[in-house]
Amino acid sequence: MGARSPRLPRFKAYTNYDNYVGVGTWTKIGLNNTDYNDQGAFDAANNHFVAPVDGTYLFGATLLYKVNASTTARMRGRLVLNGTTEIRGSFGEISGAHVSEVTALWLQTMAPLTAGDTIELQGNFRAADGYFAANHTSFWGAKIG
């Protein structure tokens, strides 16, 4: 690999606005910008990654909490395949007290994909609504095999 595979698809996307999410509803995060988007595999217009080729991919995400009305919110995140299937190992929640623009949830997992598969980052809140904060809420990935 190494120098012989310089063009493995890889990206890092983020949101430039606070994404409001209500209680109990899984919502796709509006990741409308990229820091890096080799081969254009991240589709910012549709807020998801599209696998350009079959392979094994490593994904990660950061969800940063921003308060709306109450810090009793409990932030959840997950990565979803083709808009419907939660990827095993990608679900998480911060179950303790939240601090606005400090409390963060990190997700990481690996998934075998077929060309054309999509992966999106979704967020959810328990107990109270809130925001997934601008700039630091991000999603990244790379083909590893």
* Domain range annotation of the chain: 11-143
pLDDT at 4 over 90: no
Burial 77-102 (b: 16+ CB within 10 A, else e): bbbbbeeeeebeebbbebeeebeeee
Which ranges of 3-112 would DSSP assign to H, the alpha helix? none
User: Pairing state of beta strands 10-14 and 33-38?
Assistant: antiparallel
Residue percentage of the chain with pLDDT more than 90: 94
pLDDT at 1 over 50: no
Domain 11-143, what architecture? Sandwich (2.60)
Distance (Å, whole) CA 12 – CA 75: 21
pTM: 0.95
CA 127 to chain centre: 22
Note the pLDDT tens digit of each residue in 63-90. Answer: 999 999 999 999 999 999 999 999 999 9
